[in-house]
Amino acid sequence: MSEESIVTSSGCSKITFELNPLLSFFSCFLLAFSYVSSLYIKPTTQGRNHPETIKIRFLAVTCACFLALPFLYLISTSSESLLVYSQGHSLMSWVGVRSTGVVQGAILPLVLTMILFAGPLVQMYEARIFELYNDINYWKNSLSNIIWIRNHVVAAVCFCPVFFGLAHFHHMLQKIKFEGLEFKTAFFQSVFQFAYTTVFGVYCAYIFIRTGHLIGPVLCHAFCNHIGFPDFNEVLNEDDFDKKAKIIGCYILGPLLFFMLLNFFTAPILYSNEVYSKYLVM
């Protein structure tokens, strides 16, 4: 018995989404807006990195994520009311929570992302940063640090790229209010953040649609949060020529290999992705 038939026989009906463009746009906006709005349900005079603020926001965004499920179900269409070729799936399968192909869904997109970040990873290796990961105290301190948990374990992922980028604009308020930055400086920093988070949103959306799994984008987001934006200045200011050449070579080779392997590593057949495969050009 297939996973879908097991889910259906347990009482969860198969659904599909036949939305017009306007409703699709509004739904994406509403989901992104509700997520960001949940961060400000309880006003605080403390910064976003204060432990109490983080705990409150954990609870708020968790509620926002769970409330998104009934909303998605409400705007869905029962597959029983559609033609035979419009195959439906369970709601949890649509949001990428399914067991089939989950191991590949967790590992392969993360490996692909590591290839893209070959330059920064070699840069960290040359700086002997990886030795820190062998220290048990590093993991004890990290896992007891709520900021670390927020950035790595509960990293927020939205799958509409533009809304994902726009959702980061609320950080501009934090920069002005708590960091004392001028509006102009905070604005341009937020515009830059919007640009690269939108590109990352495109990548997350691509992984999600191709694999049909939520775990891949979540792990890739946590990994990228940990690595951070590449420090090009440090590379250019490196005094050791051989080390500098090696790092620059990896900065070039990484993206080249990434684009060469992108379609192969995300082939829907590897993940038994029957949910979104009919929407893809194979």
Domain ranges of the chain: 96-146+158-282
> How far apart are the C-alpha atoms of 213 and 215, rounded to whole Å?
6
The string of pLDDT tens digits covering residues 261-276 is: 999 999 999 999 989 8
Backbone angles phi, psi at 168, to 5 degrees: -85, -5
DSSP string, 229-262: S--HHHHHT---HHHHHHHHHHHHHHHHHHHHHH
* pLDDT score of 271: 95
Residues 223-258: tens digit of each pLDDT: 988 888 888 888 888 888 899 999 999 999 999 999
Share of the chain above pLDDT 90, in %: 32
What's the start-to-end Cα distance of the chain, in Å? 26
The torsion defined by the Cα of 16, 21, 26 and 27, in degrees rounded to 10, comes to: 20
pLDDT in tens, 128-144: 888 888 888 888 888 78
Specify the pTM. 0.77
Contact 238, 85 (CB under 8 A): no
Mean pLDDT of 178-200: 70
- Average pLDDT value for residue range 196-207: 85
> Are 163 and 130 within 8 A, CB to CB?
no
Please compute, for residue 131, the number of CA atoms within 13 A of its CA located in the half-sphere on the CB side: 3
Residues 84-123: tens digit of each pLDDT: 445 688 999 999 999 999 999 999 999 999 999 999 999 9
153 or 140, which is more confident:
140
R_g of the chain computed on alpha carbons: 21
